[in-house]
Amino acid sequence: MAFDAVIEVRSVSKRFGGLQAVSNCSLEVERGSITGLIGPNGAGKSTLFNMVAGNFAPTSGQIIFDGQDITGLKPHELFKLGMLRTFQIAHEFSQMTALENLMMVPGDQPGESLSTLWFKPGKAAAREAEVRSKALDVIDFLKLGHVKNELAGNLSGGQKKLLELGRTMMVDAKIVLLDEVAAGVNKTLLNDLAANIERMNKELGYTFFVIEHDMDLIARLCDPVIVMAQGEVIAKGNMEELRANPMIVEAYFGGPVEAVR
């Protein structure tokens, strides 16, 4: 079967003044995979991730998403194309319930238009019922039924991460970018979170691109794993292969990139 890339990073570089954060970097994320991106602090992985997510524009190079050149597009434009991102710190609407948070996600709802509410109230009500039904399905999938009517601001860190994962299920996401999903999550809820990511991937066909410091989580979820150091991609493989490679370990502890090559 031919390799089907949903994300292609082509010779991308990013410079901040005199700092070369990413240098001539290329990688691919295969459709249907859970692909990890790791590297030591200062490796450039967060900068690269932010360029894919639309937060930074590359200094040079191209980013292709589902066959379309998205270089320089903003996050809200990528959202409409089917690229969603979760954050290290969850971005919930704290004064709305968990269920209401999910119902806020789909765009262009008829109820957002005053004229539709006035002249086509049935259309707005039908769409709201459809969105609510989907949100309840997501709540059930994530096993969050016991907190669906709880204000999102009162949820635990792990529950907020699950809710944020649920928001990606409210639209037809072609890829979900997971940014430090383990941060601030206790081990029990982290196991639930990982299990749901696996289910979304295997049962629903979601593609994930993951940046993460928790190597045990990366080892559980990701294959392949891409390694960056000093602004460049230096290796790709499963976690078992990478852990057995002394040159990768050396790179993590400050060894020269030349040694890895």
pLDDT tops 90 at residue 108 = no
How confident is the model over 29-52, as pLDDT tens digits?
Answer: 999 999 999 998 889 999 999 999
Confidence of residue 117 (pLDDT cuts 50, 70, 90): very low
Domains of the chain: which residue ranges? 5-92+171-260, 95-154
pLDDT of residue 121: 60
Distance of CA 82 to the CA centre of its chain: 11
pLDDT in tens, 198-252: 999 999 999 999 999 898 999 999 999 999 989 999 999 998 888 888 877 776 6
Taking the C-alpha atoms of residue 32 and residue 36, their distance in angstroms, rounded to an integer, is 13
Q: Which residue has the higher pLDDT, 257 or 104?
A: 104
pLDDT digits (tens, 9 = 90+) for 52-70: 999 999 999 999 999 999 9
Which CATH number is 5-92+171-260's, of 3.30.565.10, 3.30.450.20, 1.10.3720.10, 3.40.50.300?
3.40.50.300
Q: What is the pLDDT of residue 123?
A: 67
Residue carrying the six token digits 């991609």: 233
Q: Nearest to residue 129, comparing CAs of 112, 157, 109, 151?
A: 109
- The rounded distance, in Å, linking the Cα atoms of 242 and 249 is 8
Q: Is-contact 142 166, C-beta < 8 A?
A: yes
Taking the alpha carbons of 154, 198, 70, 8 in that order, is the dihedral positive or negative?
positive
